[in-house]
Amino acid sequence: MSGSQHSRFYHWWPWLAFAQIALASLAAGALDLSWAGWRPATCMPDTCFCEALWPGAVAQPVNAYSNLAFVWVGLMILGDAAGAQTAAASSNPMRSQPAYPAVFGAAVVAIGLGSLFYHASMSFAGQWFDVMGMYLLATFLVLYNLARLRPMSGGAFAWAYIAANALLGVLLVLAPEARRQVFAALVVGAVILEAAVFILRRPRIRAVYFAAALACFALAYGIWILDNARILCTPESLLQGHAAWHLLSAAAAGLVYLYYRSEAQ
């Protein structure tokens, strides 16, 4: 394969993969499925966000399919990581070590697929996959910023990442009611560590991406609160606040990737 063909392949395969996943998700939604025999999510039966619960394979279609935004962003990150020329001499791990952007992109895809399953089934299993996707990204951000402050080997990073998420996965089964507090703590920790990196290392980096990501996430969280509290709520509408949370959070994830990618040596 020539260099130009190689570049075009990595440019187009995320779009093809996204189209296949989106079509498969829509096809699955048309199946005659019931989740009645599954353990329900802890929010059931009447606190599962604003959107009405519909019978069939997809209980909350707007909330479910809006997660395809995460899938698209994650696939684009994976395509960029695979197709970009590795800068071996760079001190930026996002550019010199393909495993970092690969894990980042895979975590974003996992968020989308897990949350889609959750809003389709409104089951406890779906809830576990939904929250674990968020944990996978949040723990990556914490560990990545620790590695930027104090470089660690790839093996040490991998073991820490696996161990942290294994523990969080068990905690999610034993104490699911703590999931939001744990995620909030991880996000706050990641932001504090990012501030420490910025103050101590003074990196040459495009901070506008991080500021935009924080703005997207803050707006998304505000909409999440209004939707969850039924303040901004029309259950049968195609316009759902929780779906907006998904779209804005996916945009924030993509902006964070661009932010880390922009760090110069």
Q: What is the pLDDT of residues 76-125, one digit of tens each?
A: 999 988 766 555 556 788 888 888 999 999 999 999 999 999 999 999 99
State the sign of the Cα–Cα–Cα–Cα dihedral 203, 204, 206, 211: positive
CATH class of the 3-261 domain in this structure:
mainly alpha
The pTM (predicted TM-score) of the whole model is: 0.92
For the chain, domain boundaries: 3-261
State the sign of the Cα–Cα–Cα–Cα dihedral 124, 125, 129, 135: positive
The band of 2, judged by pLDDT with boundaries at 50, 70 and 90, is very low
Which is nearest to 127 in space by CA: 213, 215, 63, 50? 63
Q: What pLDDT, on a 0 to 100 scale, did the predictor assign at position 151?
A: 86
Average pLDDT over residues 134-138: 98
Query: 63-86 b/e with 16+ CB inside 10 Å = b?
Result: bbbbbbbbbbbbbbbbbbbbbeee
Of 2-16, 127-141, 251-265, the least confident = 2-16
What tens digit of pLDDT does each residue of 180-196 get?
999 999 999 999 999 99
Angle, helices 207-228 vs 241-261, to 10°: value is 160
Using CA atoms of 69, 251, 178, 236 in order, give the dihedral in degrees to the nearest 10. -50
